[in-house]
A and B are shown apart, each in its own frame.
Chain A
Amino acid sequence: MTATFQTRPPVHPASQWTFPAQQRFSLRNGMTVLGYHLPGKQLIAAELVVDVPMSAEPAGFDGVAQIVARTLDEGTEVRSAEDFAADLERYGASYGANAGYASITTALDVPLSRLTPALGLMAEAVSRPAFPEQEVSRAVKERLDGIPQQLATPAFRASQELRAACFDASSRYARPEHGAADAVERIDRNAVESFYRQHFDPALATLVLVGDLAGDELVDASTAAFGSWEATAPHRIEPEFPVESFGPKTIVVDVPGSVQTQLAIGLPSVDRRDPDWAALSVAAYALGGGLPARLNALLREEKGYTYGVYSRFRPSRRGGQFSISGSVHTEVTAAAVSDLLDVVLRYRAEGMTPAERTAAVDYLVGVTPLQYQSARSVADKGGDLVSNDLPADYVDQLRASMSAVTPESATAAFASRVDPARFVLVAVGDATTIAGPLGDLGLGPVEILPAH
């Protein structure tokens, strides 16, 4: 009994799609509100972006921004930390806050029926935090305890070491995002409160509100929650350009007995405001964006070295990196890196093929509408654009620009930005096995770091 099959059907052209329209207004206290009306979306997503780049942290106090973010809701002028958590959770809401290199954000997801009280709590945390001494102290200790966990995770460690090697230590972006231990240990309530007072102000804040809310409802909800946040004198910090440092250099983080080597290979690069951004995105995708791309076709499917190796440009608010990352079986580390570099060199030399360009552009343009079905995904993107000084129509602009990319323009942009001779190679794994063979590849001097 065999099956009978049809012939492969054609794919019909996609219909026109644009990123949801934005409704923009300001509250009297200077706070900006961006509303995205998604009819039928009963789960509301709110994202508050405070324009505080991490370079605003005082010298020696790396990590204070994260402690501030982390303790906004741990006790306010109106209620204790435990009561805040209980009240918020009773509304079926989920809340989180994070300090990133670009900005500090707080996020709230809540059913529409409970938006008013939940948004009020979010506003209370952001505008009236009490920073109780014992909560700050606990947050500091939890951060200190969390550092070894991060460093013991190979992918995290490799990525952190790559950033450290690609930028001068004087740049905040080179250093651990939430602070290394020696800096975090210094953080106390005074440091937290001082940072908050200097940098939190409605004039520096943007609220992104997404869901089945529009017009008056949007204005009313945001005014009711945030309207009484008092403006002070805003102290806006200009985001910094990190100071770049290129290879060739090889760094091995020694974790004896590792069954795999985690790789992070790359160099300093651009942010999304660069005119070549669309071309570079297309180029990176064809090289290593998915399973059909050049890197996985060879290293995963043909040679079985890895579960997956991917290449991406990783933009920051100013500048960024290009990196290739993945993990390979320890025994084949040097062979995999050698093959990987060959792929990149060939790609630069030969260029992208028209078929590759079509496949990459068709994917990147085609998949975009699928990524914004939920209110949360739209809120995340809205917040991302604000944090990184990108225009409201960025998503639509990028799709249009990518559609105009040619194999030649993608190849030229890639070749001008990515030169493997200037790569930094980070490998987290068993140094006894891998350091020698990696050194033989000739990617600059080899430095071996201990795991701890």
Chain B
Amino acid sequence: MVGRSMGSRSMELVEHRLDNGLRVVLAEDHSAPAVAVNIWYGVGSRHERDGRTGLAHLFEHLMFEGSANVASGEHFEFLEAAGARLNGTTSFDRTNYFETVPTGAFELALWLEADRMGGLLDALTQENLDNQRDVVKNERRQRYDNVPYGTAWERLFAMAFPESHPYHHMPIGSMSDLDSASLEDCRAFFRANYAPGNAVLSIVGDVAAEYALSAVKRYFDGIPAGPVVPPAPDGTIGVLDAEVRQDVHEDVPSESLYYLFRLPADGTDELEAVDLAVRVLGEGSSGRLVRRLVRREQLARMVAFGVNRMIGGASAATLIVRARKGAALADIERVIDEELALFAADGPDAEEVDRARAQAERAWLEDIETFEDRADGFARFATLFGDPRLALTAIDRVNAVTAEQVHAAAVERLTRSNRAVLAYRLDADSSSDGTDSEARA
């Protein structure tokens, strides 16, 4: 079973905390002449307040525009010239910045990260803000507003979580809130959230741990501890009392259904159990929903069911179905409800659970294979759960789940009431019980 593939288990992690609060995780791996550097800041869209959605993501952009000793554009220039690849991402729960560099550029990466952690405000100007705001608005257009189903997630999360809930809005934010963001908003955001004490620095690769740690101290010790970061808003929320529905009439290529089920937060046994239930129901070619909808009844061209793990009091399971031409969404919904009811009644069989575990194991092996993915995993578990080593034992938590627990989790969470359902319809006359929305403007 799992035990054989465990060269990776013997990975040694070194952990340290600087006086200014910065947490550091280091793991040596000399199998490639490279080092992955990854910083997670504990701020995401869930920390944003009303009227200022999109600020965390906009700020991520601003972090690349220069700092105390780095002119605008130099961050990318210096790293690319060193043969590095780099980027940043913002999600509901956190913002991260990462670069994988050839070994010889390790200290350059540390220098750049330290300079912007400690000295970003020196370079934060109205011009940079205005420029990046335009870039982000184009990003929103490109990824959300100019593609079929582009606003599906935005609508779905808004339906599934109340307006005041941290997960109600997407990290991209709204155009009007982006327009409202002022330079002072950005400064305040930086001071409050980009403190060393709110960050985890994760390093994996071709560096000796002792040397790497001394280098980290050299570059980051000079950054003063920031203010104590206020606790994140409490997003603890249970199941939906009743299904929420919305129809969208748009000129889309295929009628489609999007479902969101509210789940427990990441880090709970119950979420591990639901994750397996979702795999049994909707993963690969053998998932129950795929078999019925795609193979046997040919009502759907594609079925995708997955879990979005979040830690702000809830997670989400999302199901997307693209209808075959001529198939009725009502028929697809009926099949889904039948399968959920069957699963709730009988639970999974042993073979299905084995299959789901085997797929989870491969996915976990993929997650720890490259330096960058491993560094990201360590940063994630350190930031969200306080222990980077949990990245190496994630598969154990999957394997500890029993078929009974999978069954029980599905009974609780994958129900007809605990969900938001978004339907894309072509025929203006047909609709479900939900309110219609306006066509894309």
Q: Interface residues, chain A, CB within 8 Å of chain B? A: 1-9, 11-15, 17, 39-43, 81-82, 85-86, 89-94, 109-114, 138, 141-142, 144-146, 148-149, 151-154, 257-260, 262, 290-292, 297, 300-302, 304-307, 327-329, 358-359, 362-363, 365-370, 372-375
A141: chain B residues within 8 A (beta carbon): 298, 324
Pairwise interchain contact B362-A109, C-beta atoms closer than 8 A: yes
B254: chain A residues within 8 A (beta carbon): 145, 148-149
In the docked arrangement, what's the CA distance between A114 and B145, Å?
A: 44
Which listed segment binds A: B52-60, B101-109, B333-341, B408-416? B101-109
Pairwise interchain contact B365-A301, C-beta atoms closer than 8 A: no
* Contact partner, B286, options A89, A109, A111, Cβ 8 Å: A89
Given contacts A81-B295, A260-B141, contact A14 B85 (CB under 8 A): no
Given A89-B355, A375-B369, 15 extra CB contacts under 8 A: A5-B69, A5-B114, A9-B107, A13-B104, A15-B104, A86-B351, A94-B359, A109-B362, A258-B146, A260-B141, A292-B80, A307-B143, A362-B83, A370-B101, A372-B32
In the docked arrangement, what's the CA distance between A146 and B291, Å?
A: 19
* Contact partner, B80, options A14, A153, A290, A304, Cβ 8 Å: A290
Pairwise interchain contact A358-B108, C-beta atoms closer than 8 A: no
Pairwise interchain contact A304-B134, C-beta atoms closer than 8 A: yes
A to B CB contacts below 8 Å, 29 in the list: A3-B222, A3-B223, A6-B218, A9-B111, A40-B31, A41-B369, A43-B369, A82-B286, A85-B284, A86-B351, A90-B355, A92-B361, A109-B362, A112-B5, A152-B148, A154-B146, A260-B138, A292-B80, A301-B73, A304-B135, A307-B141, A328-B138, A329-B138, A359-B77, A359-B81, A365-B83, A368-B83, A370-B102, A374-B366
Q: How far is the CB of B63 from chain A (nearest CB, A)?
A: 13
Q: How far is the CB of A269 from chain B (nearest CB, A)?
A: 24
Pairwise interchain contact A111-B5, C-beta atoms closer than 8 A: yes
Pairwise interchain contact A3-B33, C-beta atoms closer than 8 A: no
Pairwise interchain contact A15-B77, C-beta atoms closer than 8 A: no
- B interface, how many residues as a size bin? 35 or more
Pairwise interchain contact B104-A11, C-beta atoms closer than 8 A: yes
In the docked arrangement, what's the CA distance between A9 and B366, Å?
A: 33
B119: CB under 8 A from chain A?
A: yes
Q: Interface residues, chain B, CB within 8 Å of chain A? A: 4-5, 7-8, 31-34, 64, 68-69, 73, 76-78, 80-85, 100-105, 107-108, 111, 114-115, 118-119, 130-131, 133-135, 137-139, 141-143, 145-148, 218-219, 222-224, 252-254, 283-286, 291, 295, 298, 301, 322, 324-325, 351, 354-355, 358-359, 361-362, 365-366, 369-371, 440-441
* Contact partner, A89, options B134, B147, B359, B365, Cβ 8 Å: B359
A17: chain B residues within 8 A (beta carbon): 33
A148: chain B residues within 8 A (beta carbon): 253-254
B285: chain A residues within 8 A (beta carbon): 82, 85, 89
> 7 tightest A-B contacts by CB?
A366-B83, A304-B134, A3-B118, A12-B104, A92-B358, A4-B222, A85-B285
In the docked arrangement, what's the CA distance between A367 and B285, Å?
A: 36
Pairwise interchain contact A327-B146, C-beta atoms closer than 8 A: yes
In the docked arrangement, what's the CA distance between A85 and B80, Å?
A: 42
Pairwise interchain contact B108-A8, C-beta atoms closer than 8 A: yes
B354: chain A residues within 8 A (beta carbon): 90
Q: How far is the CB of A150 from chain B (nearest CB, A)?
A: 8
A373: chain B residues within 8 A (beta carbon): 31-32, 34, 369-371
In the docked arrangement, what's the CA distance between A85 and B355, Å?
A: 11
Return the chain A residue nearest B85 by Cβ: A367
Q: How far is the CB of B217 from chain A (nearest CB, A)?
A: 11
A81: chain B residues within 8 A (beta carbon): 295
* Contact partner, B83, options A92, A290, A328, A370, Cβ 8 Å: A370
In the docked arrangement, what's the CA distance between A114 and B4, Å?
A: 11
In the docked arrangement, what's the CA distance between A304 and B325, Å?
A: 40
Pairwise interchain contact A5-B34, C-beta atoms closer than 8 A: no
* Contact partner, B295, options A138, A300, A370, Cβ 8 Å: A138
Pairwise interchain contact A11-B108, C-beta atoms closer than 8 A: yes
Pairwise interchain contact A82-B295, C-beta atoms closer than 8 A: yes
Pairwise interchain contact A142-B111, C-beta atoms closer than 8 A: no
Q: How many A-B contacts if CB must be within 8 Å?
A: 226
Pairwise interchain contact B115-A5, C-beta atoms closer than 8 A: yes
Pairwise interchain contact B139-A307, C-beta atoms closer than 8 A: yes
Between A5, A109, A358, A359, the greatest number of chain B beta carbons within 10 A of the residue's beta carbon is seen for A5
Return the chain A residue nearest B74 by Cβ: A292
In the docked arrangement, what's the CA distance between A304 and B128, Å?
A: 11
Pairwise interchain contact A151-B324, C-beta atoms closer than 8 A: no
Pairwise interchain contact B5-A9, C-beta atoms closer than 8 A: no
In the docked arrangement, what's the CA distance between A3 and B116, Å?
A: 10
Pairwise interchain contact A359-B131, C-beta atoms closer than 8 A: no
In the docked arrangement, what's the CA distance between A71 and B99, Å?
A: 40
Return the chain B residue nearest A289 by Cβ: B80
In the docked arrangement, what's the CA distance between A14 and B252, Å?
A: 50
Given contacts A152-B252, A329-B141, A366-B82, contact A113 B4 (CB under 8 A): yes
* Contact partner, B76, options A9, A146, A291, Cβ 8 Å: A291
Given contacts A15-B33, A297-B73, contact A304 B138 (CB under 8 A): yes
In the docked arrangement, what's the CA distance between A111 and B218, Å?
A: 41
Return the chain B residue nearest A366 by Cβ: B83
A2: chain B residues within 8 A (beta carbon): 224
Pairwise interchain contact B69-A8, C-beta atoms closer than 8 A: yes
Pairwise interchain contact A89-B108, C-beta atoms closer than 8 A: no
Pairwise interchain contact B68-A145, C-beta atoms closer than 8 A: no
Q: How far is the CB of A399 from chain B (nearest CB, A)?
A: 11
Pairwise interchain contact A369-B32, C-beta atoms closer than 8 A: yes
B134: chain A residues within 8 A (beta carbon): 304-305
In the docked arrangement, what's the CA distance between A131 and B54, Å?
A: 50
Q: How far is the CB of B236 from chain A (nearest CB, A)?
A: 34
In the docked arrangement, what's the CA distance between A39 and B135, Å?
A: 43
In the docked arrangement, what's the CA distance between A258 and B146, Å?
A: 6
A370: chain B residues within 8 A (beta carbon): 32, 34, 83-85, 100-102
Return the chain B residue nearest A8 by Cβ: B111
* Contact partner, A11, options B105, B298, B322, B366, Cβ 8 Å: B105
Q: How far is the CB of B45 from chain A (nearest CB, A)?
A: 19
Given contacts A82-B286, A366-B84, contact A42 B147 (CB under 8 A): no
